[in-house]
Amino acid sequence: MQSPKPPMTNKQRLLTAASFQEADRVPIELRIPAQARALPECKRIVEFIDQEADNFIGVSGSVSWGFFGLSTKSYQEIVEDRPGEYRIVRRVHSTENGDFTALTKHTYPDLDNPDFLWIKHYIANLDDFDRLINAPRTVRSFSPETYREKVARVGERGVPIVGLRHPLGTLVRNADMLEVYAWIAAEPQRMHRFLEVTNNQIIETIKAMGAADMSPWFITHAHEMLIPPWLGRKQFDEFVFPYDKQVNDAIHAVGGRIRAHCHGNVMQFLERMADMGIDATEPLEPPPYGDVDLAEAKRLVGGRMLLSGNIPSQAFVEMTPEEVTACVRQAIDVAAAGGGFTLRPTGGNAGIDPYLDKATLKKVVANVEAYIEAGLQYGSYH
């Protein structure tokens, strides 16, 4: 009988899984909103997150990507406020190539909810787009001291990770989506020029970080907007793959690694993502939220990318703890062997929303606790 593996730290557990080896147990990722941490219903969950969860932990402030790579003085002001209904906010990025202004509408009571209505986007037309393309660009500022300080603060509690702005994904989110996709079709030369100047700036910044002995894990949030139903394979191969591969090659050249956050129908793009140098991807949503067959994903890229997720926490409002346990067991059964897998909820904050009614919150919390318990119970390697 094989003896159990000695206990690992959270960092060791994640890095072992990312190296396609079996750790002492399957890593369990988990986060909830800051506002929910004070809720008495979440006490046990908070204790697990703080003491046992295996998370990639953001270390902000170590590099400043600016506004599309431009130095900015940003500010915002409330232009209309109807308490109990909504608030309209003007947001301004003031750069050396002019101001970029947006208007956003936020509803009460959760004014900080990241899902809000855009009334006007920062990049509203081709003139705005051209200002981004033609702006002077230099290596972005970064702080090795801040990076090392925050890495030391994380210690063995997880793997430090640095945000990386993806130019095309950022454009989609800061301009009208339909306009961006129209520019890809009707203004391909403009789009290629934008991608060349912005990605070259990122590459030069990564090289400079490497020269300063910074070789972090990076994370990007973009690709879910660059696959179907938004872009097809032809557009992905022309406007995403070559630019991402150059950036990812630069990251690898300095000893870093890259993780991609990508919701949706990613199944047919997993091999392409591995080909362009992505080291890890999440959250691998199963139907109906995405199209990921975890067993097939493991077969296709399980030795090339760390696979994380597949536990459909969007459905925690209606699932039972027994169903959650079954999902966790199934994911472990098909993806854990040989390493290269971490458990992770597919929805934001594991479905916990402090503004849920008490009955629904209680149900979601019970399902998150079932997720934790099943991961600990069944996450040993056989």
Residues 195 and 96 placed together within one structural domain of the fold: no
Which two structure tokens, joined as six digits, stand for 186? Answer: 């009707």
- Residues forming a β-bridge with 163: 219
Residues 101 and 244 placed together within one structural domain of the fold: no
Residues 185 and 278 placed together within one structural domain of the fold: yes
Q: What is the DSSP letter of 4?
A: P
Domain span holding position 310: 10-69+137-378
Residues 196 and 325 placed together within one structural domain of the fold: yes
Residues 194 and 283 placed together within one structural domain of the fold: yes
pLDDT reported for residue 189: 98
User: If you count them, how many residues does the chain have?
Assistant: 382
pLDDT reported for residue 1: 44
**In whole angstroms, what is the distance from residue 10 CA to residue 50 CA?**
11
DSSP string, 137-188: --PPPB-HHHHHHHHHHHTTSEEEEEE---HHHHHHHHB-HHHHHHHHHH-H
Query: Is 129 domain-assigned?
Result: no
Q: pLDDT 10s per residue in the chain (382 long)?
A: 455 678 999 999 999 999 999 999 999 999 999 999 999 999 999 999 999 999 999 999 999 999 999 999 999 999 999 999 999 999 999 999 999 999 999 999 888 887 899 999 999 999 999 999 999 999 999 999 999 999 999 999 999 999 999 999 999 999 999 999 999 999 999 999 999 999 999 999 999 999 999 999 999 999 999 999 999 999 999 999 999 999 999 999 999 999 999 999 999 999 999 999 999 999 999 999 999 999 999 999 999 999 999 999 999 999 999 999 999 999 999 999 999 999 999 988 999 998 899 999 999 999 999 999 999 999 998 6
pLDDT reported for residue 327: 98
Query: Is 93 domain-assigned?
Result: yes
Residues 58 and 148 placed together within one structural domain of the fold: yes
User: Cβ(103)–Cβ(79) under 8 Å?
Assistant: yes
Query: Is 305 domain-assigned?
Result: yes
Question: How many Cα atoms are found within 13 Å in the side-chain-facing hemisphere of 302?
Answer: 18
Residues 76 and 211 placed together within one structural domain of the fold: no
| Torsion (CA) 205, 210, 216, 219 in degrees, nearest 10 | 30
Query: Is 3 domain-assigned?
Result: no
Query: Is 131 domain-assigned?
Result: no
Q: Which of 90, 123, 156 is where one domain is finished?
A: 123
Q: Tens of pLDDT along 266-290?
A: 999 999 999 999 999 999 999 999 9
User: Cβ(343)–Cβ(375) under 8 Å?
Assistant: yes
**In whole angstroms, what is the distance from residue 92 CA to residue 87 CA?**
16
Residue type, 280: A
**Which CATH number characterizes residue 195's domain?**
3.20.20.210
pLDDT reported for residue 379: 97
Query: Is 249 domain-assigned?
Result: yes
Residues 106 and 179 placed together within one structural domain of the fold: no
Residues 65 and 83 placed together within one structural domain of the fold: no
Report the number of distinct structural domains present in the chain.
Answer: 2
Beta strand 117-120 pairing with 98-107: antiparallel
Our measurement of the distance from residue 73's CA atom to the centroid of its chain's CA atoms, rounded to an integer in Å, reads: 25
Element at 243 (helix H, strand E): helix 241-253
Our measurement of the distance from residue 177's CA atom to the centroid of its chain's CA atoms, rounded to an integer in Å, reads: 19
Query: Is 130 domain-assigned?
Result: no
**In whole angstroms, what is the distance from residue 186 CA to residue 128 CA?**
16
pTM for the full model?
Answer: 0.95
Residues 261 and 116 placed together within one structural domain of the fold: no
pLDDT reported for residue 249: 98
Query: Is 252 domain-assigned?
Result: yes
State residue 3 phi and psi, 5-degree precision. Answer: -75, 150
pLDDT reported for residue 6: 80
Residues 191 and 221 placed together within one structural domain of the fold: yes
Residues 200 and 311 placed together within one structural domain of the fold: yes
State residue 286 phi and psi, 5-degree precision. Answer: -80, 165
**In whole angstroms, what is the distance from residue 244 CA to residue 272 CA?**
11
